[in-house]
Structure 1
Amino acid sequence: MLDANKGQEQELDGQFLHIGIVQARFNEDITNALAAACIQELEALGVSNIDHVMVPGALEVPIALQAMAERAEYDALIALGCIIRGETYHFELVANESGAGVSRIALDYNLPIANAILTTENLEQAVARQTEKGRDAARVAVEMACLMEDLSADLAEELDDEETA
């Protein structure tokens, strides 16, 4: 039976987790700040096994996530990037396609991915969000990794109960 309280805000422990981070270099000042806040929060949550890779931009994030997911050694992944609206349609294309790619990888591999690819109207909005969203991504990754582990354990327990009944 699933615990109705699972998934609610709780004390997070990432001590035994392996987390992967994919960071886009485009808008590097912002993405570096996202990464610094994210890694600091992961470490505060007890995560010491962190792999961090860089890609050119947000459109390249999903393929790196996919390569990491295929290794089947991560408990969760984190996508970091920053897309700032310009004067052309390119903003919508990059925002939509990178977001869809991140979601597809998570669903295809049944692997939590915290999506912290910022999509903002201007640089000021990105700067205002960089630290908080980096920390949020770390907390989401740890919480979802723990939840997925609990759900897998619950399912295994239910299957064992059915076999012994």
Structure 2
Amino acid sequence: MLNANKGAAGPLDGRGLRIGIVQARFNEDITNALADACLAELARLNVQPADIEHVLVPGALEVPLALQALAQRGGFDALVALGCIIRGETYHFELVANESGAGVTRVGLDHRLPIANAILTTEDLPQAVARQTDKGRDAATVAVEMARLVQRIGAPA
């Protein structure tokens, strides 16, 4: 379990970090709540609003491409992926969940850039609502902690 006040190496401080956020609009009430919680936690961790770039995309399948564009442009210490995929009656849920997750991971590894993946995958809307605030906060904490870890153990090549 993450401690919002402390990372693996001590208290978290995002001062001076540049964070990019890509938010899917699909299931907008949930993704807006994720974004609100993420932004509030980044502020609490001293990440300045001017150091945050927040972009919107249609859905979870579009998140990896926007993350890749931000990563290629450079200047970010970490990125955050926000979205919500709720199971339906068809195989589409698995396709979107698997492909968006694989895409987010691939961008992070290809660019050697921490990406906090907060694309929720839930069985139903109540599960998504129950997770929206905590997962938004967790995404901010993970982004700051991993950015500091990468700085500490060596800049990505």
Compute the TM-score of the two structures, normalised by the length of structure 2. Answer: 0.92
- Identify which of 69, 73, 76 aligns with 2:75: 73
Compute the TM-score of the two structures, normalised by the length of structure 1. Answer: 0.88
- Identify which of 112, 115, 130 aligns with 2:117: 115
Displacement of 1:9 in angstroms is 6.1
Distance 2:123 2:134 in 1: 17
Which amino acid in 2 is paired with 1:36? D
Runs of 4+ in 1 over 4 A off after TM superposition: none
Alignment correspondent of 2:3: none
Displacement of 1:10 in angstroms is 2.6
Alignment correspondent of 2:45: 45
Distance 2:114 2:128 in 1: 24
Query: Following superposition of structure 1 onto structure 2, how do residues 50-61 of structure 1 map, counting pairs within 5 Å?
Result: 50-61=52-63
The aligned length equals: 148
Alignment correspondent of 2:99: 97
Distance 2:18 2:101 in 1: 23
Alignment correspondent of 2:4: none
- Cα deviation per residue 1:99-131 (whole Å; 9 max; x = unaligned)? 000000000000000000000000000000000
Residues 152, 9 of structure 1: alpha-carbon distance in 2 compared, 3 angstrom cutoff: closer
Query: Following superposition of structure 1 onto structure 2, how do residues 136-147 of structure 1 map, counting pairs within 5 Å?
Result: 136-147=138-149
Alignment correspondent of 1:13: 13
Greater C-alpha radius of gyration: 1
Name whichever of 144-153 and 98-107 sits farther off. Answer: 144-153
Displacement of 1:92 in angstroms is 0.1
Distance 2:101 2:144 in 1: 20
Alignment correspondent of 1:106: 108
Distance 1:52 1:72 in 2: 15
Displacement of 1:143 in angstroms is 0.1
Which amino acid in 1 is paired with 2:15? Q
Does the residue aligned with 1:97 lie in a helix, a strand or coil?
Answer: helix
Which amino acid in 2 is paired with 1:105? V
- Cα deviation per residue 1:7-44 (whole Å; 9 max; x = unaligned)? 62631010010000000000000000000000000000
Distance 2:60 2:98 in 1: 10
Residues 9, 87 of structure 1: alpha-carbon distance in 2 compared, 3 angstrom cutoff: farther
RMSD of aligned alpha carbons: 1.2
